[in-house]
């Protein structure tokens, strides 16, 4: 992801909330990218407050994975526990083909997003919303940023006994190239067409 940001002229600054680093002043940024925090849920309330502040400050927000859940709540939406968790490469039932491909995308979630009032649903699958837009913000429930190394780390740390770890790694090796191309197009199109335009 950093290479896509660099190509667009951004110099990324990484903030590790999971390591205790403080939230920065959102006014210092033109674009904020949040991946959420899957290991320290106690930071979720602080992240939601920070995203509300960023929204009021006019900062564009790209929210991925759990970050999309926090963005949805910050903008007045909701997050509900899914009936069944899913860790798999998926295809979308409805997409925006010119910039959000139908797939493949890596889904790694236990929750379903309720899109905020006034936001636009841009893509979904049979289990619910996957991408929504709200002004200059974009919430993406799947993970366009993943690499095989990231997937291997998540598989190693997973506590779901039903997860077919070997099968998921094998599918990742087949789907990653196409997913990476789709991910770069999504991120690049968002940055150039949405994030840098006035709300």
69-96 pLDDT, tens per residue? 999 999 999 999 888 778 999 999 888 8
- pLDDT tens digits along 178-190: 999 999 999 999 9
- Cα 183–187–191 angle (5° rounding)? 170
Residue 24 DSSP one-character state: P
DSSP letters, 74-90, are HTT-EEEEEEEEEEEEE
Question: Using CA atoms, how far apart are residues 83 and 71, in angstroms rounded to an integer?
Answer: 22
- The CATH number that applies at residue 14 is 3.40.50.880
155 contacts 169 by C-beta, under 8 angstroms: yes
pLDDT digits (tens, 9 = 90+) for 52-61: 999 999 999 9
For the chain, the residue count is: 199
Q: What is the pLDDT of residue 19?
A: 85
Q: How far is CA 38 from CA 15, 131, 140, 157, 158, in A?
A: 15, 19, 15, 11, 11
Query: What is the sign, positive or negative, of the torsion defined by CA atoms of 83, 87, 91, 96?
Result: positive
Total domains in the chain come to 1
CB-based contacts of 162, cutoff 8 Å, min separation 6: none
Q: State the Cα angle at 50 between 49 and 51, rounded to 5°.
A: 90
pLDDT given for residue 189 in this prediction: 92
Which domain, by its residues, includes 159? 2-195
Residue of 196 and 65 predicted with greater confidence: 65
CA distances from 183 to 22, 56, 90, 119, 141 (A): 29, 28, 13, 22, 13
* Mean residue pLDDT across the chain: 88
């Amino acid at each position: 992801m950093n290479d896509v940001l660099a190509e667009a002229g951004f110099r990324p600054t990484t903030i590790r909330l999971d390591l205790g680093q403080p939230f920065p002043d959102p006014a210092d940024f033109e674009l904020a990218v949040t991946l959420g925090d899957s290991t320290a849920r106690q930071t979720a309330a602080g992240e939601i407050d920070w995203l509300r502040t960023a929204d009021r400050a006019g900062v564009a927000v790209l929210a991925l994975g759990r970050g999309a859940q926090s963005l949805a709540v910050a903008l007045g939406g909701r997050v509900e526990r899914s009936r069944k968790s899913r860790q798999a490469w998926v295809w979308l039932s409805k997409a925006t083909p010119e910039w959000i491909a139908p797939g493949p995308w890596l889904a790694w979630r236990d929750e379903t997003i309720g899109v905020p009032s006034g936001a636009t649903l841009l893509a979904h699958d049979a289990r619910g919303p996957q991408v929504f837009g709200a002004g200059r913000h974009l919430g993406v429930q799947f993970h366009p940023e993943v690499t095989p190394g990231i997937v291997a780390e998540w598989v190693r740390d997973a506590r779901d006994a039903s997860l077919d770890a070997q099968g998921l790694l094998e599918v990742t090796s087949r789907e990653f190239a196409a997913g990476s191309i789709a991910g770069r197009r999504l991120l690049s199109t968002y940055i150039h067409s949405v994030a840098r335009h006035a709300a």
